[in-house]
A and B are shown apart, each in its own frame.
Chain A
Amino acid sequence: MAVYERVYQRYTGLTTPSWARILVLPRYALRDVFRSRLLVFFFALCFVVPLMAAAVIYARHNLPLLDTFQLSVDDLIAVDARAYYYFLDAQFGLGFFLTLFVGTGLVSRDLAHNALPLYLARPISRAEYVTGKLLTLGLLLSAVTWIPGVLLFLFNGAFEGPGWMVENARLMIGTVIGSTLWLAVLSMLTLALSAWVKWRPVAAFALFMLYVMGSFFAFVTNQLFRTDWGHLVNLDQLVQIVTAALLGAEVPDGPPVAVAGLALLVFSAFGLLLLHLKIRAYEVVS
């Protein structure tokens, strides 16, 4: 199909492997994300806490610097489970707002403009389409949660030595598993809302309300019935319980860790079910 000839010709060149096609969706979506200056600014903002943490780690291992500022090591935050817990809590909060901006339009845009038949007429399945969209959020949220967490761990490990790394391996493992669980739940619920609420601002508001109303409902339930089980509908608290347990930090109030983990899995499964029902080339009214 050369331009100068203006005649149709079949493509006979190389083709990419099947798995590589899934990566096309996040590649294009992320490129769109970083075309927005506001999002680039917010994304950069997400690295303020990790950079500050890195500065603290550096300062803890630099006695001349501490002397300059007349500080002792004890004046700085220790790199332990508690510090990681607060670090992840801050990053999860920022990641949530990043998801509000980016995630809520990922599927709704395609559905609102009937683009799903175009995707699904290609050699990709519905599951691969959803995987591609999840990867978009997954990559973005990983970049602000467990990746900086692991880098900080390695940074501190470089100063402390391999003994510290082995002794505190739980920090790294807890960071990776806790973050992955959090981003999986958040991504699936966000995509499900994006699929069911085609108008992006409304989808963003619905996601925000899901978190806010969950906390509020949990608070009211706990106060009324003098229990901690109300936190079962508080996504933020559930994530904090599981993450704290994984890191070995003090676990906040709420249901047992296993129940909290199970509840997060139920939320994820619910999100997947909603996606399964909605992600179709065409809706058929039986």
Chain B
Amino acid sequence: MGKMHITTRINGDDTEFLCDADESLLDVLRDRLGLTGAKEGCGTGDCGACSIVVDGRAVCSCLMLGAEAQDRDINTIEGMAEGEHLHPLQRKFLEHAALQCGICTPGILVTAKNLLERNPDPTETEIRYWLAGNLCRCTGYDKIVRAVQDAAAEMRGA
């Protein structure tokens, strides 16, 4: 079986790639497209380190085949900052020291941004449940939640 030719849209850019039928979208992003922000933690959809947004919904890219990406609209962590200009969530994560080793950070930022697009003023409980599929073994989560709350407040102009 030859490789599959897939055309899709990633971070606003028309993109094409060749992949094997059984290749995950995460492997395509990292190994074929050089988009190494999404990380492989568990590879089974438990940890959220590979989170991306597909057609407006946060998904684990390890649980999706590259071939499924045909004609989808995909957003990854690489599309979050505009040039040197960090997204408010990224800035607040730095200000609050909401990361240590950083492996989980791209997935958490992508998933948190997806939350704030749907709900600009989430409660702490809503933030914790929304991010329940993003594991962090360093921070104890508290600084992450504070950073998301602070970014949400800034984005609301509060």
B partners with A: no
